[in-house]
Structure 1
């Protein structure tokens, strides 16, 4: 935990923990997901989730921002910001001035949870069937070494993800626990990596600096000639005399649907693409209807490259939304048709 301006504190946890309620945006920040019923997820930090702790003693602080979620190829960390208030403002936890050394006495402070993948009799011996409350577990650093990760032998379970690894010698945090094999060894992100993260530097793997996120490519344009070989949606695609036509609509909707420059008498309004078509709303500046032909038996997996988005100049460019409309990371820049369906 570290100081932050405006009555807030920065808190470090694991990426795989944050991913339970959030997704990573292109700029590395985190955006809260929506639940199946549409409500947006949230997160709170309770510093008094302890054995025999009464409900009234809760020390709950809301997570207001997910500042950073590491990519899956990076150190397993996420940086959160919590809001503090009078009487509920925990002091920052210091990071150790030096890296933990082999054999250094340490301990994890976290919330071990019952895990049926482990030896049940050993878990009962160590935890006395008491789980999901704050515990201290002593141990030693097994391998300090260099780089992002160090190993330790504190007794941990699945719920310990995000536990701080505290050096009793330095009386400070030397790592952030993120994984382990029960009774064998555990792994923690080193305090040096956490310092880099808190100082806004990019975390490292094996001492090599990771690349900054690539800048998003500028929107391109496709002319009518670029799209001249697109056949669009085929209503009789299913065969056997079965036809699924475009919906019919009256004059009011027709006045709102953009008419492409390559329109035909049979297809007055359809923006024709490969295996799918779009009826585009001028007022909404987005599709009103899309239709796609899907042939599962002949599906092709096409490797995704460096995405670039395009304006389709068969309709007025001013009717279309570019990158500027999607700067808010909570807005998904989605597809008119699911990407893999027409492949």
Structure 2
């Protein structure tokens, strides 16, 4: 559902057609036939025309129009792999390729699995509706993905605990037309598999029968499967295509048929695993879904991810049956279960498995040691343990026994005002001249609050978020540097309420969806690759007439919306403040101690990708390599606007490794050039009229800051 190459879409369609052996299959062009689509006559005329055009060009995909390409991905392909709504723990199939799923014999195998599959919800999380899918695999035991469990637990192996304050619960209904209040509490973590993307959790008081896991060798591609789970909207993919496939209805239980395909190697948690594959239509919320064999009704795999227009991956149930560490885990396998065997997972258990617990004897076999007794001030000391040993120690002086004080480092959210009703945001009249916000191209790509606004207001600044990139497109802030408004006695820790040794933990903005912002976890589990870079500098906006105003501004800068992944040392350069000294240089030329500042990353199409982890699991994020800033200040002519670029010099650097030297090149540029470089954005006319980029004033600023003119 991402925008893709039409040829890749055609190749995927042809593969699904070949996998439909024995069924009514796609009639390929060459005989002059068009691809037939279920309920074709009910489509709007525009869609009919696009479907017919795409079908006629399957052998010439490069000639497809955008509408035909859309029809291929949003209508023709999904017609081969539908996503069927479940109602009252049952389903009805209308897609011609899959009508046999309505047969009583097939339904008798699939339908019993539906009640035992549910959404894994996170009651304490307000930024995401649920973590993924999970299903019963034994008495009081549910299976899900490791990357789903990582939303509330860290680590792998056994003996793991919930993160402080975290909780989870199962909702076994949540259908499009039926919701129930009943939730079943997840009480503990049984294990997180160190090799497979799998976790087992204990759930309380569930009345449903568990599913049976298949222990048989995998079948071939002719083996039909259904994936049962909760597909969720993915903001990184085309909304139009997703809405066409899923009817705009997400986060509810669906049945998604397809075929089981040969195994393939795929990267999972830093290792290559030999996973099962299938070609059902899935989305992010399907993580943890059961892959059920149509032939047996047994679970043959645990879905954990996929590549669009390529394949989907699952943990093979057969491999779980062979894992000796899971023999006593309580999983319900079909008989006969094979004897445990060796596998690639064996070495990954070393160091994480928990030894068997041995009951303590009623009375200790050896009396507990008595306190150490010493004689002070002599040349000998006697120690009883309970043997008495005398050693020569020389003269002993009395020594006070003290308890060492240890400072624990904690990640703590700085104090912030959770009542967002009075946030005023950026003030366009702050300098006495009306300076509106920049205008984004295609505002449909911006994240929106519930009232439809795209400029997210904070204290003394506003941010517009690029929903697809999950990063700010631009920020706009009002800066005061006069001592009267700075509260010079305010300390950073005082404003944030941090203790000794505490570090700041950034937090999401509840006014936006979690999938439209990168969580703090992305930056804390990035293997040290990035800084948490303030786009709006904390020192710029922490001003006000009262401590409460300054404290509110301080807290607002720690929203993850104000954080952009910046290659290490961008925000901690050696001896140079990449942005602060630019502002200081401008202020020296200004007539007041006030500035208006616009800033943001340059979101380029070729930014290098980085594979990290967010609150929903593995995620790939493109990392900006350049940033921009426009500083506006009053001067004798009214206002002056100064545009700057900060970009990394990647000469001779292997960018695919994403291990860059922190060599940043700063330059002052005119605003017309800056707009072209940024893309996606138009700066207001008043700034172009005040552009000092290629003037003597601009060159003076550049010289004062020691940057390239």
Q: From 159, 166, 169, give the equivalent of 1:29.
A: 159
Work out the CA distance in 2 between the residues paired with 1:203 and 1:59. Answer: 40
1:199 aligns with 2:330: no
Q: Which has the higher contact order (CA 8 A, sep 6+)?
A: 1
Q: From 157, 160, 166, give the equivalent of 1:41.
A: 166
Match of residue 307 from structure 2: 181
1:5-43 CA deviation, whole Å, 9 max, x = no partner?
Answer: xxxx11111111000111126x53331112xxxxx1110
- 5 Å matches for 1:154-169? 154-169=280-295
TM-score when normalising by structure 1: 0.54
- 5 Å matches for 1:1-343? 1-4=136-139, 9-24=140-155, 28-34=158-164, 40-54=165-179, 57-71=180-194, 74-84=195-205, 88-103=206-221, 104-144=223-263, 148-195=274-321, 196=323, 198-200=326-328, 206=344, 210-213=348-351, 282=403, 286-287=405-406
2:275, 2:316 within 8 Å by CA — same for their partners in 1?
A: yes
Q: How far off is 1:127 after superposition?
A: 0.5
Work out the CA distance in 2 between the residues paired with 1:289 and 1:29. Answer: 23
SS, match of residue 234 in structure 2: coil
Q: 1:125 to 1:32 in 2, by over 3 A?
A: same
SS, match of residue 108 in structure 1: strand
2:138, 2:211 within 8 Å by CA — same for their partners in 1?
A: no
SS, match of residue 287 in structure 1: coil
Equivalent pairs counted in the alignment come to 213
Q: Which has the higher helix share?
A: 2
SS, match of residue 175 in structure 1: strand
Work out the CA distance in 2 between the residues paired with 1:148 and 1:61. Answer: 33
Work out the CA distance in 2 between the residues paired with 1:203 and 1:42. Answer: 35
Work out the CA distance in 1 between the residues paired with 2:210 and 2:353. Answer: 34
Q: 1:215 to 1:194 in 2, by over 3 A?
A: closer
Q: 1:281 to 1:160 in 2, by over 3 A?
A: farther
1:281-337 CA deviation, whole Å, 9 max, x = no partner?
Answer: 63xx75379999xxxxxxxxxxxxxxxxxxxxxxxxxxxxxxxxxxxxxxxxxxxxx
Q: 1:156 to 1:145 in 2, by over 3 A?
A: closer
Work out the CA distance in 2 between the residues paired with 1:203 and 1:30. Answer: 26
Q: 1:97 to 1:289 in 2, by over 3 A?
A: closer
SS, match of residue 406 in structure 2: strand
Work out the CA distance in 2 between the residues paired with 1:107 and 1:215. Answer: 33
SS, match of residue 116 in structure 1: coil
SS, match of residue 32 in structure 1: coil
Task: Identify unmatched segments of 5+ residues in structure 1.
Answer: 35-39, 217-267, 270-279, 293-343
1:210-257 CA deviation, whole Å, 9 max, x = no partner?
Answer: 3422699xxxxxxxxxxxxxxxxxxxxxxxxxxxxxxxxxxxxxxxxx
Q: 1:287 to 1:10 in 2, by over 3 A?
A: same
Q: 1:52 to 1:98 in 2, by over 3 A?
A: same
1:114-167 CA deviation, whole Å, 9 max, x = no partner?
Answer: 012223333122201110001110000111489751011010001110001001
Work out the CA distance in 2 between the residues paired with 1:198 and 1:10. Answer: 13
Q: 1:139 to 1:32 in 2, by over 3 A?
A: same
2:291, 2:301 within 8 Å by CA — same for their partners in 1?
A: yes
Q: How far off is 1:65 after superposition?
A: 0.9
Q: Which has the larger radius of gyration?
A: 2
Work out the CA distance in 2 between the residues paired with 1:215 and 1:199. Answer: 13
User: Which deviates more, 42-51 or 142-151?
Assistant: 142-151
Work out the CA distance in 2 between the residues paired with 1:51 and 1:209. Answer: 44
Work out the CA distance in 2 between the residues paired with 1:30 and 1:99. Answer: 32
